[in-house]
C-alpha cells in the first residue's frame, strides 16, 4: 500500500525493513532527519538495532567499521563535511572489504559553507572503492537502500555502498512511495552471512599492513570487486523487479536508465533528482518533433562504461549536466564519459554543463539552454570544440564576479 | 629442545614479530594476552605494535585482532562491542556470548593522547564495555621519534630536538589518566613494564568491570629514548622510583592503590640513563629543566601520595 512520505522517512523506512544490527548516528543537515526518524523507531521499539549516538561522523564510520568486521549489518548516514570526515575510515573499509551501507543526503562542500545540495561530496570519494548509487525520486531512494545491502554484503563484493539522494530536493520533499512489506524484504535480502568475522572461536587478523610486494595486488583485488559489483547490481535489480514489481534500467544491468533515448540526436546525461525536470524538457522537445533524450547513470562507481557506451551510441551531441566540478578541470561525470567515448572510438561532441551547485535551482529554462547548447554542436567533430568552450556554467552570474576573476 | 621456555604453542602474542629488542610495547602485548586469554578481540591503531606484529602475510596475534586506521581504534572497538551486544539480544547464532568476550584496545600514546583522543573520549563517554590500554613510550616512535603530547619536558625528539636555542620538549606531558577520570570511569590505572605482576593484576581487575576502563603503562623505547635494550626494565623502574611515573589505581575518581616509596630517588638518576635527556647535563639552562622535572616528581608525590 502506498504512502505519502518525505525522503528522510522513506530512507528510514527502508533501513527499518533491512533491520541493521548496529546504527551509529551523528547529525548533519540535511541528513539529520534520517537518523532522527530512525531514533524514533528505536525509541518506540519498532526497531531493535543498537543505536549508537557517536561523537562525530568520523566515529560513525569507525563504529560501523568495527561492527561490520564483527559480522553485523550496519547503517549510518551523512553528507558533505561529514562525508569528508568519514573519508579516511571509509577508504580503509573498502580496502579491508567491509560491507557498510550509508545514505548520503548529497550536499556541497565548504567553503563557503552551504547546507544545500550538489554532488561534490560523493564525487570527492570517487576513488575509495565505495559503490555509489544515485536516486532520482523517493521510491528509488528507498529501493536503493535494499539493493545497496544486497550488493555490499554479497560475499563476492563485500564493500561499502553509498546510497545517494539529493539533499533537501529529495530528503525533504513528499512523494507517494510504496514501502517494503516484511515478506518482500525477506525474500530479497537474506541475513548477512559474513566471509570473516572477529569471533574469538576462530581468531583472525584483520587489517595487516602490506609492503610493496603485496600492496598492488591487494588493491587490484579490491578494484576487481568494485568492477564485479556491476553484475551483482544487475542481478539484484532484476530480482528486485520480480519481487517488488519496480524496474530500474533492466536493459542496462540496473546501472543506467534512459528516457526517450533510443533515436535521440541530442542526449542529456545527468544524475539524481534533476532528471525529473529533464524528463519534462525532453517531452517538450519531443512534442516539437525534436529528437532529444536523457541518459541517467544510477551508479557512478563502478563506472558503467559499457552500458553508457551503448546508451549514448548514435547521438550526434551529448551534454553532461552535472552538480559537480573538479576544480581545475571539468565535472567528474563529463571527464569519465569523455574518457569512455575516446576508448570507444566515438566522435560525438560532449559539452559539460555545471548546474545546480549548492542547491541553486535547476529550472526547465536552464535545461532548455543545455539542450540548445548541445544542438549547436550536433554532428561536429570533438576536435572542433575549443577546450575552454566545452565547459559551461548554467547559469553563471557574471555580475558577481570581478573582471580579474573571470 | 624440550625447554618449556621455547615452547610458544599456546602463546597468544607470538615470537617472530619485528619489534626491537627491549621494546616495552612488545612486553606489554605479551602481558596483556597472558591475562585476557583467547576470548578476546583486540583493536589496535596504526603504530609500532601494529606494523611490527602484522606484516602481511604474517601475524603475531593468536587472538582476534583488527587494525583500521590511526585515530579510531576506540571507536572500532566500540562498534565491535555493540555488534556483540546486538547479537546477544537478537539471539544470532555463530557468535561467542557477549559476556564471554574481552573487548580490548592496545594503543600507543600518539594514538591515545593526540590523534585518537576524540575516539577515546567518545568510547568512554558512551560507556562501551572496552578496556583501553595505552602503552606510553612518550613520543611517535613508529614515524621516528617525534614528540607527542605525552613527551615530557626536556626530552629531545626529532621534532623537539635539543639545539643552541632549545633544551628539547618545552610543553608539559598531558595528564591522560585525569582526562579519563573526568569521563567518570569506574576504573583507571597506571602501570609500568618494570612491574609485570602489578600490571597483569590491573588488567585482570579491569576486565571484571563492565563498562569503559583505562590503563596506561609506561613502556620504554630503547631506540627513541637512546638507551641500551638491556636497560628497558631498569629505566622503567627508575621512572617509578623517582616519582616521575607514579603507578596507582583510580576507582570511581578516588586514588586507591599507590605504589609507595620509602625514599624517592633523585630524577637525575633516571634522566642520566637516557640519551634523550643528555643535553640537560651539558647545555646551559639544562639544570633548570632538571629542577623542573624534580618539581614534577615532588608534585606527583604530594598529589598522589607516593611517599611512605
- Does residue B181 register a pLDDT over 70? yes
Q: Residue B43: its chain A contacts at CB < 8 A?
A: 66
Q: Residue B57: its chain A contacts at CB < 8 A?
A: 208, 214
A58 at B interface, C-beta within 8 A: yes
B214 at A interface, C-beta within 8 A: no
Q: Residue B67: its chain A contacts at CB < 8 A?
A: 206-209
Instruction: Count Cβ neighbours within 10 Å for each residue of B50-70 and write b for 16 or more, e otherwise.
Output: bbbbbbeeebbbbbbbbbbbb
- Domains, chain A, ranges and CATH? 3-196+210-244 (3.40.50.970), 256-405 (3.40.50.920)
Kindly report, residue by residue over B79-122, the tens digit of the pLDDT.
Answer: 999 999 999 999 999 999 999 999 999 999 999 999 999 999 99
Is the CB of residue B267 less than 8 Å from the CB of residue B242?
Answer: yes
| Closest to A129 (Cα-Cα) out of A243, A218, A68 | A218
A24 at B interface, C-beta within 8 A: yes
- Under-70 pLDDT residues of chain A: none
Residues in chain B: 308
CA distance B205 to B250: 12
Q: How many CB atoms lie within 10 A of CB B235?
A: 22
Contact yes or no for B55 and A211 at CB 8 A: yes
| Closest to B43 (Cα-Cα) out of B26, B64, B59 | B64
- Does residue B4 register a pLDDT over 90? no
Contact yes or no for B43 and A66 at CB 8 A: yes
Contact yes or no for A63 and B89 at CB 8 A: no
Q: Identify the pLDDT of residue B1.
A: 53
Kindly report, residue by residue over A185-231, the tens digit of the pLDDT.
Answer: 999 999 999 999 999 999 999 999 999 999 999 999 999 999 999 99
Containing B200, the helix (H) or strand (E) segment is helix B196-208
Q: Residue B50: its chain A contacts at CB < 8 A?
A: 209
Contact yes or no for A66 and B55 at CB 8 A: no
State the average pLDDT for chain B. 97
A219 at B interface, C-beta within 8 A: no
Contact yes or no for A59 and B118 at CB 8 A: yes
Beta strands A100-106; A131-134: pairing state:
unpaired
A19 at B interface, C-beta within 8 A: no
| Closest to A261 (Cα-Cα) out of A246, A273, A251, A272 | A251
Contact yes or no for B64 and A66 at CB 8 A: no
Q: Which residues 108-137 on chain B approach chain A with CB closer than 8 angstroms?
A: 118-119, 121-122, 125-126
**Which of A22, A55, A58, A62 to mutate to probe the B interface, most B CBs <10 Å?**
A62
Specify the higher pLDDT residue, B2 or A222: A222
Contact yes or no for A205 and B43 at CB 8 A: no
Q: Residue B41: its chain A contacts at CB < 8 A?
A: 70, 198, 200
Kindly report, residue by residue over B225-237, the tens digit of the pLDDT.
Answer: 999 999 999 999 9
Q: Residue A63: its chain B contacts at CB < 8 A?
A: 75-76, 78-79, 82
Q: Residue A69: its chain B contacts at CB < 8 A?
A: 66, 68, 76, 79-80
Average pLDDT over residues B5-31: 94
Q: Which residues 158-197 on chain A approach chain B with CB closer than 8 angstroms?
A: 197
Q: Distance, in angstroms, between A74 CA and closest chain B CA?
A: 9
Q: Residue A87: its chain B contacts at CB < 8 A?
A: none
CA distance A236 to A247: 11
A354 Cβ neighbours under 8 A, 6+ residues apart: A322, A323, A324, A325, A331, A391, A392, A393, A394
Q: Identify the pLDDT of residue B7.
A: 84
B84 at A interface, C-beta within 8 A: yes
Containing A297, the helix (H) or strand (E) segment is strand A292-297
- Does residue B25 register a pLDDT over 60? yes
Could you give the 3-state DSSP secondary structure of residue A210? Answer: coil
Q: Distance, in angstroms, between A178 CA and closest chain B CA?
A: 28
Bridge partners (DSSP) of residue B188 are B214, B250
A67 at B interface, C-beta within 8 A: yes
Q: Which residues 20-49 on chain B approach chain A with CB closer than 8 angstroms?
A: 38-41, 43
Is the CB of residue B131 less than 8 Å from the CB of residue B209?
Answer: no
Instruction: Count Cβ neighbours within 10 Å for each residue of B39-49 and write b for 16 or more, e otherwise.
Output: bbbbbbbbbbb
Average pLDDT over residues B64-84: 98
Q: Identify the pLDDT of residue B10.
A: 87
Q: Residue B54: its chain A contacts at CB < 8 A?
A: 205, 207-209
CA distance B308 to B136: 26
A42 at B interface, C-beta within 8 A: no
- Sign, CA torsion B8/B13/B18/B21: negative
Query: Which residue in B has a C-alpha nearest to residue A55's C-alpha?
Result: B122
Question: Does the global pTM surpass 0.95?
Answer: yes
- Does residue B168 register a pLDDT over 80? yes
- Does residue B2 register a pLDDT over 70? no
Radius of gyration of chain B (CA): 19
As a whole-number percent, the residues of chain A with pLDDT over 70 amount to: 100
Q: Distance, in angstroms, between A195 CA and closest chain B CA?
A: 13
Bridge partners (DSSP) of residue B1 are none
| Closest to A145 (Cα-Cα) out of A18, A5, A8 | A18
Contact yes or no for A62 and B68 at CB 8 A: yes
Contact yes or no for A54 and B56 at CB 8 A: no
A87 at B interface, C-beta within 8 A: no
Could you give the 3-state DSSP secondary structure of residue B74? Answer: helix
Q: Distance, in angstroms, between B45 CA and closest chain A CA?
A: 10
Name the band, by pLDDT with cuts 50, 70 and 90, for residue B8. Answer: confident
- Domains, chain B, ranges and CATH? 4-305 (3.40.50.970)
Contact yes or no for A208 and B54 at CB 8 A: yes
3-state secondary structure A311-375: HHCCCCEEEEEECCCCCCCCCHHHHHHHHHHHHCCCCCCEEEEECCHHHCCCCHHHHHHHHHHHH
Contact yes or no for A53 and B126 at CB 8 A: yes
Q: Residue A67: its chain B contacts at CB < 8 A?
A: 79-80, 82-83, 86
Kindly report, residue by residue over B144-164, the tens digit of the pLDDT.
Answer: 999 999 999 999 999 999 999
C-alpha cell at B294: 624534580
Burial of A405 (0-12, 13-18, 19+ CB in 10 A): exposed
Kindly report, residue by residue over A43-79, the tens digit of the pLDDT.
Answer: 999 999 999 999 999 999 999 999 999 999 999 999 9
Amino acid at each position: 500500500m502506498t504512502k505519502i512520505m518525505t525522503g528522510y522517512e522513506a530512507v528510514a523506512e527502508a533501513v527499518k525493513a533491512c533491520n541493521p544490527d548496529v546504527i551509529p548516528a551523528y547529525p548533519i543537515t540535511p541528513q539529520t532527519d534520517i537518523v532522527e526518524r530512525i531514533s524514533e523507531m528505536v525509541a518506540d521499539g519498532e526497531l531493535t538495532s543498537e543505536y549508537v549516538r557517536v561523537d562525530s561522523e568520523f566515529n560513525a564510520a569507525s563504529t560501523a567499521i568495527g561492527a561490520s568486521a564483527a559480522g553485523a549489518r550496519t547503517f549510518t548516514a551523512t553528507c558533505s563535511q561529514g562525508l569528508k570526515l568519514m573519508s579516511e575510515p571509509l577508504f580503509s573499509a573498502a580496502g579491508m572489504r567491509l560491507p557498510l551501507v550509508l545514505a548520503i543526503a548529497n550536499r556541497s562542500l565548504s567553503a563557503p559553507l552551504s547546507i544545500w545540495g550538489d554532488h561534490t561530496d560523493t564525487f570527492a570519494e570517487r576513488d575509495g572503492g565505495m559503490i555509489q548509487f544515485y536516486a532520482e525520486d523517493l521510491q528509488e531512494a528507498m529501493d536503493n537502500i535494499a539493493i545497496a545491502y544486497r550488493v555490499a554484503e554479497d560475499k563476492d563484493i563485500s564493500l561499502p555502498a553509498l546510497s545517494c539522494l539529493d539533499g533537501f530536493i529529495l530528503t525533504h520533499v513528499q512523494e507517494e512511495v510504496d514501502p517494503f512489506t516484511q515478506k518482500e524484504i525477506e525474500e530479497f535480502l537474506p541475513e548477512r552471512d559474513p566471509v570473516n568475522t572477529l569471533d574469538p572461536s576462530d581468531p583472525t587478523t584483520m587489517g595487516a599492513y602490506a609492503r610493496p610486494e603485496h600492496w598492488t595486488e591487494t588493491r587490484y583485488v579490491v578494484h576487481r570487486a568494485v568492477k564485479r559489483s556491476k553484475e551483482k547490481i544487475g542481478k539484484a535489480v532484476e530480482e528486485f523487479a520480480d519481487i517488488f514489481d519496480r524496474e530500474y534500467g533492466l536493459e542496462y544491468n540496473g546501472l543506467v536508465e534512459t528516457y526517450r533515448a533510443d533515436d535521440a540526436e541530442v542526449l542529456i546525461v545527468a544524475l539524481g533528482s534533476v532528471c525529473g525536470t529533464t524528463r519534462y524538457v525532453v517531452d517538450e522537445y519531443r512534442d516539437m518533433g525534436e529528437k532529444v533524450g536523457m541518459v541517467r547513470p544510477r551508479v557512478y562507481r563502478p563506472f558503467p562504461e559499457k552500458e553508457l557506451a551503448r546508451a549514448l551510441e548514435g547521438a550526434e551531441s551529448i551534454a553532461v549536466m552535472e552538480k559537480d566540478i573538479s576544480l581545475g578541470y571539468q565535472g567528474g561525470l563529463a571527464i569519465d564519459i569523455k574518457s569512455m567515448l575516446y576508448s570507444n572510438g566515438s566522435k560525438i561532441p560532449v559539452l559539460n554543463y555545471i548546474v545546480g551547485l549548492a542547491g541553486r535551482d535547476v529550472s526547465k529554462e536552464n535545461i532548455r539552454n543545455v539542450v540548445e547548447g548541445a544542438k549547436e554542436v550536433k554532428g561536429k567533430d570533438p576536435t572542433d570544440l575549443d577546450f575552454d568552450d566545452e565547459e559551461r556554467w548554467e547559469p553563471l552570474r557574471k555580475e558577481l564576479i570581478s573582471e580579474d576573476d573571470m | 629442545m624440550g625447554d618449556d621456555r621455547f615452547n610458544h604453542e599456546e602463546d597468544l602474542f607470538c615470537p617472530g614479530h619485528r619489534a626491537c629488542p627491549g621494546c616495552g610495547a612488545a612486553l606489554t602485548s605479551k602481558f596483556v594476552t597472558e591475562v585476557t586469554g583467547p576470548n578476546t578481540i583486540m583493536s589496535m591503531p596504526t603504530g609500532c605494535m601494529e606494523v611490527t606484529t602484522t606484516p602481511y602475510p604474517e601475524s603475531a596475534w593468536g587472538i582476534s585482532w583488527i587494525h583500521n586506521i590511526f585515530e579510531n581504534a576506540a571507536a572500532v572497538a566500540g562498534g565491535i562491542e555493540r555488534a556483540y551486544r546486538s547479537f546477544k539480544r537478537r539471539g544470532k547464532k555463530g557468535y561467542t556470548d557477549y559476556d564471554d568476550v574481552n573487548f580490548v584496545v592496545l594503543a600507543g600514546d600518539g594514538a591515545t593522547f593526540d590523534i585518537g583522543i576524540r575516539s577515546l573520549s567518545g568510547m568512554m563517554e558512551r560507556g562501551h564495555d572496552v578496556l583501553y590500554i595505552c602503552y606510553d613510550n612518550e613520543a611517535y616512535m613508529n614515524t621516528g621519534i617525534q614528540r607527542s603530547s605525552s613527551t615530557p619536558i626536556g626530552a629531545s625528539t626529532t621534532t623537539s630536538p635539543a639545539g643552541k636555542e632549545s633544551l628539547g620538549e618545552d610543553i608539559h606531558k598531558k595528564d591522560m589518566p585525569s582526562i579519563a577520570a573526568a569521563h567518570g570511569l569506574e576504573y583507571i590505572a597506571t602501570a609500568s613494564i618494570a612491574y609485570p605482576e602489578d600490571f597483569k593484576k590491573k588488567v585482570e581487575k579491569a576486565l571484571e568491570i563492565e563498562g569503559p576502563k583505562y590503563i596506561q603503562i609506561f613502556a620504554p623505547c630503547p631506540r627513541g629514548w637512546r638507551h641500551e635494550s638491556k636497560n628497558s626494565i631498569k629505566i622503567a623502574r627508575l621512572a617509578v622510583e623517582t616519582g616521575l611515573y607514579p603507578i596507582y589505581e583510580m576507582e570511581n575518581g578516588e586514588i586507591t592503590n599507590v605504589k609507595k616509596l620509602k625514599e624517592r630517588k633523585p630524577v637525575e638518576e633516571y634522566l642520566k640513563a637516557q640519551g634523550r635527556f643528555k643535553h640537560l647535563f651539558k647545555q646551559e639552562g639544562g639544570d633548570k629543566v632538571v629542577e623542573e622535572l624534580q618539581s614534577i616528581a615532588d608534585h606527583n608525590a604530594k598529589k598522589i601520595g607516593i611517599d611512605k
